[in-house]
Structure 1
Amino acid sequence: MSKPIRILSTKVLTPPQKERLLHAGFAVVEHSFIKTNPVNFTAPAFVEKGIITSMNAIDPLVERGIKIGKCFCVGQKTAAALREAGYSPEVCAESGAALARILIEKYRGENFHFFGTDSRRNELPEMLSNNDTPLTEIHVYETVLNPAKAPGKFDGILFFSPSAVASYLQENTLNDSIAFCIGPTTAKSLDKHHAETVIANTPTAERLILEVIKYFKKQKDHNLDPRI
């Protein structure tokens, strides 16, 4: 009997996400290769326009009672979490770069507050800065690497951020593992490692899991892997 395909997720999946992989016949190992911690920060009690690109920024805002007139966010899950916390998403985009393009087109020259972390991606701030749209960055949490030695070899590894890639590579190598990446920025962080990467069409964990299932089903259909 062939061994199951082994998948490592660099963050802990939700029960439905993990169950989908298990139901498809995969063996799944999870470890949170990054952690987030709140930090002390100073911010106005009210901002007219706020940018939130990660759900990790929401709890610190709620705890401080910060009000935002219009929220501009990345990802449907972030938008849903904002609504649940009592905020009103004005615009939701699939990536920071996509959000920046919308803001430049519709709000060029207006002031924004960006609530995030010091290890945030550069695309959005740089695009706004280069297009005369003022941005005040406020770091409300920090991202901390949480490396660990992975138990054995894996056929596929799920990466959800460049930070998770950096954390994983501190104590592990990719070998022949396929790197399934949440988006192109995460995939780019693997460029110098010459890994085979598969990028989700939309930046969600659910879509990434679907890419895993599709990839290995294709391998099976073409008899490219004798273990399948």
Structure 2
Amino acid sequence: MQKILFTKKGLDRKMISKELGENLDIDFVDVLSFENLKIPTFDLKNKSLIFTSVQGVNAFFENGFSPNENFVEKDFNKIYTVGKKSKNALRKHGFGTFKIKNNAKDLAKFIIENFNKENFLHFCGNLALDTLQVQFKNEKIKYKKVVVYNTKFRYPEIENPFDEVVFFSPSGVQSFVKYNKIEGKKIFSIGETTTKEIEKFTKDEIYTSEESTLEDLLHLIKNKL
């Protein structure tokens, strides 16, 4: 029986088994851990907010922040997210999302083309990529990172053999490959940014989902196994 390893715990095993079938040995390993930081709240008036992870959303509200939503005004008080999970996390707290994109590059492109007069705050982790920062700096867009959680590498050592491995983030890739080889494995990735990181460690083919969702990733896996 083929064994597929997901580099994240807390996923819905029943949903995965239902989608992929019963002829796979499914296993999970946590490659990262997250620690929310305590920071003093400050006024968010006339600021638009960006969230690129669920952890960023959760840490934002845990610190006592609350958005000043105003989707009518053109140049401020909007909320942007990367990925549906971030959007859904905001919804649980009663807030909507003005625009959602699959990755930071696409989000930056949308903002630059449509609403570049805004003043942006990006609530993120300590390992957040500089994609937005670089793109906005080139366009002279006001942007600031607010680090609200730390990402820690767990560096697991996988003793049992596996045939396929599924990655969910660049930092997850970095943590996994420290003690585990991925050459000769069938590799699945949840998005282009993660795939670019995987390419640093293997020349093998990488199967990348078009949407940054578990559902789309599982559909891809099912079609390629």
TM normalised by structure 2 equals 0.88
Whole-angstrom distance in 1 between the partners of 2:214 and 2:91: 20
Q: In 2, are the aligned partners of 1:10 and 1:33 still within 8 Å (CA)?
A: yes
SS at match of 2:216: helix
2:161 aligned with 1:153, yes or no?
Answer: yes
Q: Against the structure 1 CA distance between its residues 96 and 180, is the aligned structure 2 distance closer, same or farther, given a 3 Å change threshold?
A: same
Whole-angstrom distance in 1 between the partners of 2:204 and 2:194: 12
| Structure 1 position 88, deviation (Å) | 2.4
SS at match of 2:178: helix
**1:70-122 Cα deviation digits (max 9, x unpaired):** 21111122112101112221111111111111111111132100000121122
Whole-angstrom distance in 2 between the partners of 1:108 and 1:58: 23
Q: Among 8, 13, 24, which residue is 1:11 paired with?
A: 8
Whole-angstrom distance in 1 between the partners of 2:105 and 2:81: 11
Whole-angstrom distance in 2 between the partners of 1:43 and 1:101: 29
SS at match of 1:103: helix
For structure 1, the 5+ residue unaligned runs are 217-228
2:220 aligned with 1:211, yes or no?
Answer: yes
Whole-angstrom distance in 1 between the partners of 2:206 and 2:106: 22
For 1:32-43, what aligned pairs fall within 5 Å after superposition? 32-43=30-41
Residue in 2 aligned with 1:200?
209
Residue in 1 aligned with 2:84?
76
Amino acid at match of 1:71: I
Q: Among 179, 184, 192, which residue is 1:184 paired with?
A: 192
For structure 2, the 5+ residue unaligned runs are 69-77
Structure with the largest fraction of helix = 1
2:121 aligned with 1:124, yes or no?
Answer: no
Q: In 1, are the aligned partners of 2:20 and 2:221 still within 8 Å (CA)?
A: no
**1:153-212 Cα deviation digits (max 9, x unpaired):** 222100001111111111111131111011111111122321321000111122112211
Q: Among 94, 100, 121, which residue is 1:86 paired with?
A: 94
Amino acid at match of 2:57: I
SS at match of 1:121: coil
Residue in 2 aligned with 1:167?
175
For 1:40-119, what aligned pairs fall within 5 Å after superposition? 40-47=38-45, 48-69=47-68, 70-119=78-127
SS at match of 1:46: coil
Whole-angstrom distance in 2 between the partners of 1:27 and 1:72: 38
Amino acid at match of 2:119: N
Q: In 1, are the aligned partners of 2:20 and 2:222 still within 8 Å (CA)?
A: no
Residue in 2 aligned with 1:221?
none
Amino acid at match of 1:171: Y
Number of aligned residues: 213
Amino acid at match of 1:205: L
SS at match of 1:189: helix
Q: Against the structure 1 CA distance between its residues 114 and 167, is the aligned structure 2 distance closer, same or farther, given a 3 Å change threshold?
A: same
Q: In 2, are the aligned partners of 1:24 and 1:213 still within 8 Å (CA)?
A: no
Whole-angstrom distance in 1 between the partners of 2:65 and 2:102: 25
SS at match of 2:157: coil
Q: Structure 1 vs Structure 2: percent identity of aligned residues?
A: 25
Whole-angstrom distance in 2 between the partners of 1:24 and 1:213: 12
